[in-house]
Amino acid sequence: MEAEELVESLIRALMFIAGVLGNNWLAIRSLPKSLSALRTNEILFLNLAISNLITNYLVDLPDTMADFAGSWFLGETYCGVFRFCADLSETSSIFTTFFISIFWHQKLVGSLKRGGGPVHMDGLCLVACLLAGSWTVAVVFSMPHFFFVKVEGTNESEVDCIDYFPDAIAGQTYEIIYLTLANALPLAGILTISVQIVITLLQNHRRVRSHKTELSVKKNTKRNDENRNDVVITQGKSSSKIQAPIQDGQQEALPRPPQMSVKAGSSIQVRAAKSVVAVASVFLVCWLTHMLLRITNNIHMSSIVVEVASYIASSYTCIIPYIFLYGVKKLSCSCSS
């Protein structure tokens, strides 16, 4: 094995290890303590982890082994499984990321603008239907890759697992439909939702700043009133006049506990929404590049383009679990129940 090929194989192996650790971690930390405690967030994260683990174990691992072996050695039968699993997990991961973006956008808007409360995607039946639909679409689009593949020699001694459509027009038609429905549309949806999240966060930041300004003005006014009351006390005014502002202050302090709880709840939604924006940024870079490479490969077949597209897809699956874990404060290990 040449030095360049060895470096590529090591990079692939490191990406595989990072993806396995991250996605298993995301799955374990998303498991509820009981079925009654199952929530939309946990279902979506579990589905995302499962989708990515299909890529890690059934796509990245065989590909890494083939890289170290120098050629494809798993036969044509597994070649079909390999290509099928690659598109299956890719499609499911894209749609799940799209659903997570919608969910956290709803939670963010509900928390900041309506003071919390249930949102549409809190319904487990709705989420189950969406995920079932996404897996169905993923299976339908992945089935051709199970049949139209072959193991072909690329060099004198190397063989590789590649897609092979007998009819070039049929292959191009399939690629156009797949890239439009399973890549371009979810990508556009995630971009739109991410922009809305950023706008909502900016509007909330402006409201918080204006609210702080109002509070500082009220505190200054209250301080001035207390100073005037102190002057009245020193002049020997009656005790009733002394206690009046204290009672007013106590009455103003009564609504503070619920305000603090609302603020704490909204901060959680804000943190999670920021993680969605971070994931969306990685998603757009990875999958837009991946989609363009597949379009390029559809026009002119190139094994290098296919390899680069595979690396980009793998990089996405090994990065986003850590971003989501950080966003929902589950990145650290918790030994307590």
- pLDDT one-digit tens code per residue, 276-327: 788 778 877 777 777 777 777 666 666 666 667 677 777 778 888 888 888 7
Instruction: Indicate whether 337 belongs to any domain.
Output: no
pTM of the model: 0.76
Say how far apart CA 271 and CA 122 lie, in whole Å.
18
Q: 166 in the Ramachandran plot: left (φ > 0), alpha (ψ -120 to 50) or beta?
A: alpha
How distant, in Å, are the alpha carbons of 61, 144, 202, 269, 312 from that of 88? Answer: 16, 11, 37, 31, 16
Instruction: Indicate whether 332 belongs to any domain.
Output: no
Residue 261 confidence class, pLDDT cut points 50, 70, 90:
very low
Domain, as residue range, for 83: 3-250+259-327
Say how far apart CA 99 and CA 130 lie, in whole Å.
8
pLDDT of residue 248: 47
Q: Which of 104-108, 189-193, 296-300 has the lowest mean pLDDT?
A: 296-300
Q: Tokens 């399939």 map to which residue?
A: 174
pLDDT of residue 162: 80
Q: Which of 146, 121, 134, 149 is nearest to 181 (CA)?
A: 134
Locate 225 and state its tokens: 């009133």
Q: Which residue has the higher pLDDT, 286 or 143?
A: 143
pLDDT of residue 233: 60
Instruction: Indicate whether 22 belongs to any domain.
Output: yes
**Tally of domains in the chain:** 1
Instruction: Indicate whether 279 belongs to any domain.
Output: yes
Instruction: Indicate whether 106 belongs to any domain.
Output: yes
How distant, in Å, are the alpha carbons of 3, 9, 318 from that of 268? Answer: 47, 40, 24
The yes-or-no verdict on residue 212 having pLDDT over 70 is: yes
Instruction: Indicate whether 333 belongs to any domain.
Output: no
Residue 154 confidence class, pLDDT cut points 50, 70, 90:
low
Q: Which of 102, 117, 47, 26 is nearest to 326 (CA)?
A: 26
Locate 156 and state its tokens: 């004198």
Average pLDDT, whole number, for the chain? 78
The angle at the Cα of 145, spanning 144 to 149, to the nearest 5 degrees, equals 115
Locate 34 and state its tokens: 């009981």
Say how far apart CA 44 and CA 128 lie, in whole Å.
9
Predicted confidence (pLDDT) per residue in 54-73, tens digit: 999 998 898 888 878 878 88
Instruction: Indicate whether 225 belongs to any domain.
Output: yes
Predicted confidence (pLDDT) per residue in 163-186, tens digit: 888 887 888 888 889 888 888 898
- Positive or negative, the Cα torsion across 12, 298, 162, 132? positive
Predicted confidence (pLDDT) per residue in 22-51, tens digit: 999 999 988 888 877 788 988 999 999 999
Instruction: Indicate whether 148 belongs to any domain.
Output: yes
Q: What is the 8-class DSSP label of residue 328?
A: T
Query: Which CATH number belongs to the domain containing residue 76 in this structure?
Result: 1.20.1070.10
Q: H-helix or E-strand containing 147?
A: helix 124-147
